[in-house]
Amino acid sequence: MGVARAFKVVMCGDGGVGKTSLVSRLVGAGFNPLQKLTVGVSHHTKELNLGDSPTRLVVWDLGGEERFRFLAPVFLRGAKGAIFVFDVTREETFEHLDEWLEVVIQTIGDIPRVLVGNKVDLEGLRVIPSNYAERYAKSKGYLAYYEVSARLSSNVEEPFIRLAKAILGCDHGG
């Protein structure tokens, strides 16, 4: 095993979509149904074993509220990948993805990214169909679209693994 490679990954999306809950699940901190909105920026580290040496993702989580957007250029600097998150039960969080993508591309360029629809455990409240989100992801250059539930810890690691593989150059689609 070699020395761990470290990459900065940013979580993008509106407030309340579950970015912090996803990161908490990813790093083994559990799920807090009373999770408060992120104020400013927080970051967490996750070790993944991909290939010949460990890979460390440093996951930066920006508060999704409009009042934190001014932090975006500093928050995004140095990021090698991005995970865009929306809430499948709130249409406006899906509609705002274009704005988030534009900020990322204008600030740091066209980096590898995946799209995540969170809160699929609330299927009865869903307003964004999965096939619609999949088509959107393809049309906007996302590597893939994943549906997850931070509450149930369902499919949480997959988007991060896919993104890490793309950053490392060992993701050849699929």
Q: Which residue's structure tokens are 């995004």?
A: 76
Q: What is the pLDDT of residues 90-112, one digit of tens each?
A: 999 999 999 999 989 999 999 99
- Provide the pLDDT confidence category of residue 156 given band limits of 50, 70 and 90: very high
Q: Could you give all domains of the chain from N- to C-terminal order, each with its CATH number? A: 5-168 (3.40.50.300)
What are 96's two structure tokens?
């705002």
Would you say how long the chain is, in residues? 174
pTM for this structure? Answer: 0.88
Q: What is the distance between the alpha carbons of residues 78 and 2, in angstroms, rounded to a whole number? A: 23
What is the average pLDDT across 9-22? 91
Query: 20-79 pLDDT, tens per residue?
Result: 889 988 887 555 555 555 545 566 777 888 777 788 888 988 765 565 566 677 788 999
- DSSP bridge partners of 145: 115
Residues 60 and 75 sit within 8 Å (Cβ to Cβ): yes
DSSP alpha helix (H) spans, the chain: 19-26, 72-76, 91-95, 97-108, 130-139, 157-168
Buried b (16+ CB within 10 A) or exposed e, 80-100: bbbbbbbbbbbeebbebbeeb
Whether pLDDT at 88 is above 90: yes
